[in-house]
C-alpha cells in the first residue's frame, strides 16, 4: 500500500499550530523566569529584565528545535514534487529559516537531522534543475490549443463590488457620528478601491488574458495590452507569490512586469507554464 501524502496546505496549517505552540512556550518561559527571579530578588524591574533574558535563552533553542522537527515532518509527509514550493512557502511564512540563516547553521539538532535536511535541500535543487531543463527542451504538443484565454476569476469580480461597498457603508456610518475624519478616510478608500473595469466584467465578461503563438495579450500590460514573443526576453513563474514575471524589450530597454495570476481561473500552474513554453516554441 502506497503512502498517503499530505498536501502543501495541510502541512503548512500544521506548521502554524507549531508556531502558536512556540509562542505559548516562550511566554511560559518568560512567566517562569519572572517568577523565579522575583522570588530571589524582590525588585520587579530587576525581575523583568532577567526574565526577558532567560526567556530568550530558553525560548530560542526550543523554537529552533521544534521548527526543525516540523520541517522534517513536513518534507517526509509530502510528495517530492511538492518540496520546492513547500520550502518557498514555509520560508515566506517564517515557519523555517532560509539555507543561509545562522539558525540553520548553528541550530540545536542532531547530526542525523542535519544530514537529512542537507539531503532534502540537495534533492530540491535537483528537482528545480530538472524542471528547468525539461521546460527548456519542451517540444510542440498537439494537445495544447492554438490559443488559451482567461476571464477574471468570478470571486475576484464579486470582491471588487463587496469590498468598496463595505468600506462605503462603514464610512457613511462614521460620518453620521463624531468620527467624521475616519468616515472621510473610509469613503476615500472605497472610492480608490472601486474598479469600474471589474464591475463591468461581472455583467459583460471580457477576455483579460490570452496567449497564442504571437505573444501574450493581457489587460495588465501597459503597452497596447500585448507583448510579442520576440520582445519577451525571459519569463518565469513565481508559484509562491503567484505571479508571471516577464522581462521584455521596449525600444532597446529591458523592462519587467509581474502579472497577478490569482485574478484568473488558473488551477494548475505547472501546466500553465508548460503551455506558455509550447506556444512560444510555435511562435519561433
**pLDDT attached to residue 50:** 65
* Cα angle for residues 95, 97, 98 (degrees, 5° grid): 130
**pLDDT attached to residue 210:** 92
Strands 209-212 and 215-218 come out as antiparallel
pLDDT at residue 205 greater than cutoff 80? no
What are 99's strand-pairing partners?
none
Return the sign of the alpha-carbon dihedral for residues 266, 190, 245, 16: negative
**pLDDT attached to residue 59:** 65
pLDDT at residue 179 greater than cutoff 60? yes
**Strand order across the beta sheet in which 243-250 lies:** 232-238, 243-250, 253-260
* Per-residue model confidence as pLDDT tens digits over 61-73: 777 777 788 888 8
Write down the pTM of the prediction: 0.58
* Per-residue model confidence as pLDDT tens digits over 21-60: 767 766 676 666 666 666 666 566 666 666 666 666 666 6
The answer to whether the CB of 229 falls within 8 A of the CB of 283 is: yes
In order of 12, 158, 219, the CA distances from 200 in angstroms are: 37, 11, 14
| Mean pLDDT computed over 218-227 | 79
- CB neighbours of 147 closer than 8 A, spacing ≥ 6? 210, 211, 212
What does the block give as the cell for 127? 528537482
The answer to whether the CB of 194 falls within 8 A of the CB of 164 is: yes
Which pLDDT band holds residue 104 (cuts at 50, 70, 90)? low
- CB neighbours of 104 closer than 8 A, spacing ≥ 6? 97, 98, 117
* Cα angle for residues 233, 89, 241 (degrees, 5° grid): 40
The answer to whether the CB of 210 falls within 8 A of the CB of 172 is: no
User: Helix/strand/coil (H, E, C) string of 104-142?
Assistant: HHCCCCCHHHHHHHHHHHHHHHHHHHHHHHHHHCCCCCC
Give CA 34 to chain center in angstroms: 38
pLDDT at residue 280 greater than cutoff 60? yes
Residues in the chain: 284
**Rg of the chain, C-alpha, whole Å:** 26
* Cα angle for residues 171, 153, 248 (degrees, 5° grid): 105
**pLDDT attached to residue 105:** 62
Report helix, strand or coil for 251.
coil
What crossing angle do the helices spanning 44-76 and 8-40 adopt, rounded to 10°? Answer: 160
Can you list the alpha helix ranges (DSSP code H) found in the chain?
8-40, 44-76, 83-92, 102-105, 111-136, 154-175, 180-193, 196-203, 269-283
| Mean pLDDT computed over 102-113 | 67
pLDDT at residue 86 greater than cutoff 80? yes
Which pLDDT band holds residue 171 (cuts at 50, 70, 90)? confident
163 against 52, higher pLDDT? 163
The answer to whether the CB of 247 falls within 8 A of the CB of 184 is: no
Amino acid at each position: 500500500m502506497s503512502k498517503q501524502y499530505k498536501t502543501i496546505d495541510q502541512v503548512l496549517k500544521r506548521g502554524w499550530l507549531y508556531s502558536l505552540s512556540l509562542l505559548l512556550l516562550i511566554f511560559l518561559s518568560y512567566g517562569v523566569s519572572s517568577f523565579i527571579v522575583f522570588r530571589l530578588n524582590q525588585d520587579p524591574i530587576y525581575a523583568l529584565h532577567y526574565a526577558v533574558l532567560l526567556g530568550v535563552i530558553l525560548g530560542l533553542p526550543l523554537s529552533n528545535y521544534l521548527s526543525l522537527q516540523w520541517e522534517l515532518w513536513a518534507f517526509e509527509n509530502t510528495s517530492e514534487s511538492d518540496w520546492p514550493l513547500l520550502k518557498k512557502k514555509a520560508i515566506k511564512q517564517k515557519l523555517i529559516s532560509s539555507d543561509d540563516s545562522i539558525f540553520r547553521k548553528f541550530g540545536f539538532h542532531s547530526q542525523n537531522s542535519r544530514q537529512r535536511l542537507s539531503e532534502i535541500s540537495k534533492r530540491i535543487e535537483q528537482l528545480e534543475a530538472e524542471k528547468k531543463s525539461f521546460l527548456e527542451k519542451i517540444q510542440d504538443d498537439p494537445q495544447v490549443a492554438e490559443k488559451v484565454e482567461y476571464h477574471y476569476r468570478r470571486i475576484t469580480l464579486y470582491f471588487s463590488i463587496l469590498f468598496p461597498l463595505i468600506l462605503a457603508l462603514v464610512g457613511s456610518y462614521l460620518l453620521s457620528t463624531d468620527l467624521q475624519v475616519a468616515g472621510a478616510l473610509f469613503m476615500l478608500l472605497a472610492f480608490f478601491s472601486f474598479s469600474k473595469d471589474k464591475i463591468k466584467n461581472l455583467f459583460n465578461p471580457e477576455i483579460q488574458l490570452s496567449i497564442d503563438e504571437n505573444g501574450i495579450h493581457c489587460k495588465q500590460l501597459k503597452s497596447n495590452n500585448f507583448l510579442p514573443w520576440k520582445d519577451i526576453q525571459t519569463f518565469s513563474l513565481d508559484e509562491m507569490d503567484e505571479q508571471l514575471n516577464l522581462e521584455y524589450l521596449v525600444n532597446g530597454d529591458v523592462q519587467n512586469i509581474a502579472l497577478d495570476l490569482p485574478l484568473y481561473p488558473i488551477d494548475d500552474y505547472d501546466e500553465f507554464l508548460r503551455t506558455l513554453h509550447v506556444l512560444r516554441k510555435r511562435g519561433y
